[in-house]
Amino acid sequence: MIGQGALLSGYRLATALLEPAAAGLLVWRRQRGKEDPTRFAERRGYPGVRRPDKTLVWLHGASVGETVTLLPLVEKLQQRGLAVLVTSGTVTSAKLLAARLPAGVIHQYLPLDVPRYMRRFLDYWRPEIGLICESEIWPNLMIEAKKRAVPLVLVNARMSARSFRRWYKAPKTSRYLLSCFECCLAQSQGDAERLAQLGAPRVSVAGNLKFDVPAPPADADMLAILDGLTTGRPVWIAASTHPGEDEMVLSAHLGIKPHLLKLLTIIAPRHPQRGPEIEELCEANGVAVARRAAGRTPDAQVEIYVADTVGELGLLFRLSQVAFLGGSLVPVGGHNPIEPAKLGCAVVHGPHVQNFSEIFAAFDGDGGSRGVADTQELAATVHGWLSDPASARQAARAAAQTSARLGGALTRTMQAIEPLLMRVALGQRDAAS
């Protein structure tokens, strides 16, 4: 059996001793709108609702992207008559899940990784199985789950080359934490090889669950309204932008505008609270701007529409012919291009896409997306597609076809966890008899 080692033991001791500081951190975050004040206790492991009196499967994703990835698994598990608990760590993910989780599925905030918080959480919810998405490996969570013999599976597992190098420097720690998983279902062969090198047990390639997530929904009435307001206008969206990119998008807009006088640029910041500062940036440059969170719509005079709301990308992608994915012109690592690909957009991205490198490589190779190096190339690519709608539609079709071709991870994941589900079912039957 692999021991915890000095590093993990030190982490355990430090997080236990710093519990008062963790409570203070939560207060600080609540004051800045980063915690839900009505559900504050959940972050310390206290339950917000009653546990169902039947077999409970627990799924965890860090934030919006990961929790949306879990939605197809949630539906499959609920169809089997299992109680389902989904946890996440951000207010934005909780808001999105409130709208998209099936009725009867429970959402809770994951506690901070403090020993007592994690003990409290696991002792109350008593999950029979835990499915952890991508790379959410919290030491106290892993250790406390292992103590309670909760079988864990790392689904849609991802291990970037950069993360691998960091983990490789602490081999005993990485081996112990990864040994807490019954198996690891990797997104790609590269992810699988890196996880196996670090000591993960029973690694296999299931593919990327993101390809099996249904396209995000849109309110039909609102779509009709906004579609009517933007009919006849070339529309593109800069989605999930980060600080530093909004200036580039604005510059690209100003470069395209003289050639496409009715141009509408939508900016949907990754963090919606940045909406007012983007509005100020546009106003300072003399650009007519409207902000969605302020109740404005993109009327004929609006050049840039700041979509600073949560859970509406499905609506906004449907309005756009071209989608630029943010976090890629600044060194963030990029964001998921599958949603715009499923909703009829030609896709543009910058050079920093290491978080989704294999997906973007597939899209680029099939002609559904294009990489750009800077603002000038962004403007040229967007202008080229918007001024040639047939070419943009061809790229959008290629992106949709690539997305469909790379699906199937949901089926492979369910097949992989079937033995665990059967084991739980047998255990429940034995306990009842």
Please identify every residue annotated as catalytic: 66
Q: Which of 359, 357, 311 is nearest to 209 (CA)?
A: 359
Q: Taking the CA of residue 213 as centre, how many other CA atoms within 13 Å lie in the half-sphere pointing to its CB?
A: 26
Largest CA distance in the chain: 77
Phi-psi region of 94 (alpha: psi -120 to 50; beta: other; left: phi over 0): alpha
Residue with tokens 């100020």: 280
DSSP helix/strand/coil, 59:
strand
- How far apart (Å, rounded) are the C-alpha atoms in residues 283 and 276? 11
In whole angstroms, give the CA distance from residue 418 to residue 403. 26
Are the C-beta atoms of residues 252 and 382 closer than 8 Å to each other?
yes
Q: Would you give the distance in Å from CA 305 to the centre of its chain? A: 23
For helices 245-256 and 375-386, give the axis angle rounded to 10 degrees: 50
DSSP 31: H
